[in-house]
Structure 1
């Protein structure tokens, strides 16, 4: 039985749109030309998809002028677009945080975060290869975070430092309600990578950045703790 061409076209459009949303989520704002180059499709196809996504409230743009040329549109996700990559069980998480605060107070919530931190330290500590290069250890940490839904990736900054970027926060609702979760995660990274390593948070979703990112380098580097 033949498939209706209209159904196939709709499916292809949906897939194309999801790919664009994913690239904008993980790489940040970019022009249609850059999107087309990254996806390996025509600029016309990308612009058509962006127009559809804009009409659905998923993307928006700002005009960017360089030199004397025509302004280019720099496309990014809207809050609705970011919601396509949802928080994990956010409503239940917020209810639990509220309940712990109500019954046990801030001290009880601190104990809960400390217990979660200790579990993460053991899990990551057992998985990260001690004695290996810093790059190998950070790559392993990124893979662990990737499995947990953080869309993590590592970039060599070329100055002896690595950047661990987390393009999505699956516990954003919890972190917004209690920033102790963010402090705990930074402490975990520092603990499992060792005293000889400096870990500095350079981007923070709760401070308005599109992602969380960490500069990781030998402790002799010039990092400033956040």
Structure 2
């Protein structure tokens, strides 16, 4: 059974991406010897692997990252059952039935997000609240601001990744939900996509001049 410190190491590799042993030691406040021992155990278990990178003159640095098995340590929201249900809906009702199911789910999600966001006046507050909600839903989400003043919504985990792999319409509907939920005064586009080989999903929210009433966008279906 993994101890708490080892679980925290897996968590930091998940949310921060590849790390050196030294940076992990600083984050966890443990000795270099302890870090090497933990990484050794995780490597033997197939949960982490490494790549050596020469960034400057001198010895290359070793960066540790999660393997597929390591990523599977994080919950995937009954992925197999969800995938089976989607396949069954498609088989019974065809692609049109599947699209109607996904649209219904997207509208219900949008209604939930709007109820939480519509009283917040600033884009920054809405993005921060959306990140909080997505974290509660299992996406390990954070928000930050880039050098151009745009907001970045980062999702370090996807609890529906297996289902989304077999039905990528789920990902398309999420992007549409974010746009509709955050309002007409922003433009949302995807920067990183887990299903395209990235280690996470990330979205840029670009504030725009006022484009009309928030409540004018009644439905995304």
- Report the TM-score, using the length of structure 2 for normalisation: 0.91
Query: How far, CA to CA, are the matches of 2:38 and 2:126 in structure 1?
Result: 39
Equivalent residue number for residue 74 of structure 1: 63
1:56 to 38, 41, 45: 45
How much has 1:131 moved relative to structure 2?
4.8
- Alignment partner of 1:106 is 2:95: yes
Equivalent residue number for residue 6 of structure 1: none
Query: How far, CA to CA, are the matches of 2:73 and 2:149 in structure 1?
Result: 35
Mapping of 1:29-68 within 5 angstroms?
29-68=18-57
Query: How far, CA to CA, are the matches of 1:131 and 1:74 in structure 2?
Result: 41
Equivalent residue number for residue 160 of structure 1: 149
How much has 1:219 moved relative to structure 2?
2.8
How much has 1:68 moved relative to structure 2?
2.4
**Greater displacement, 126-135 / 88-97:** 126-135
Over aligned residue pairs, what C-alpha RMSD do you find?
1.3
Mapping of 1:73-92 within 5 angstroms?
73-92=62-81
Query: How far, CA to CA, are the matches of 2:192 and 2:89 in structure 1?
Result: 29
Equivalent residue number for residue 123 of structure 2: 134
How much has 1:65 moved relative to structure 2?
1.2
How much has 1:94 moved relative to structure 2?
1.2
CA contact (8 A) 2:80 2:163 kept: no
Deviations 1:2-48 (A, max 9, x none): xxxxxxxxx7x622211110000011011111111122222221111
Equivalent residue number for residue 119 of structure 1: 108
Deviations 1:85-139 (A, max 9, x none): 0311111111101110100000000000000010011000000144521110001
> In the comparison of the two structures, how many residue pairs are matched?
209
Query: How far, CA to CA, are the matches of 2:116 and 2:14 in structure 1?
Result: 28
Deviations 1:151-202 (A, max 9, x none): 0011121321111100110011111111110000000000011111011100
Could you tell me which runs of 5 or more consecutive residues in structure 1 were left unpaired when the two chains were aligned: 1-10, 221-226
**Greater displacement, 126-135 / 44-53:** 126-135
Equivalent residue number for residue 215 of structure 1: 204
Equivalent residue number for residue 184 of structure 1: 173
Could you tell me which runs of 5 or more consecutive residues in structure 2 were left unpaired when the two chains were aligned: 210-221
**Greater displacement, 100-109 / 85-94:** 85-94
- Report the TM-score, using the length of structure 1 for normalisation: 0.89
CA contact (8 A) 2:154 2:201 kept: yes
Equivalent residue number for residue 5 of structure 1: none
CA contact (8 A) 2:113 2:130 kept: yes
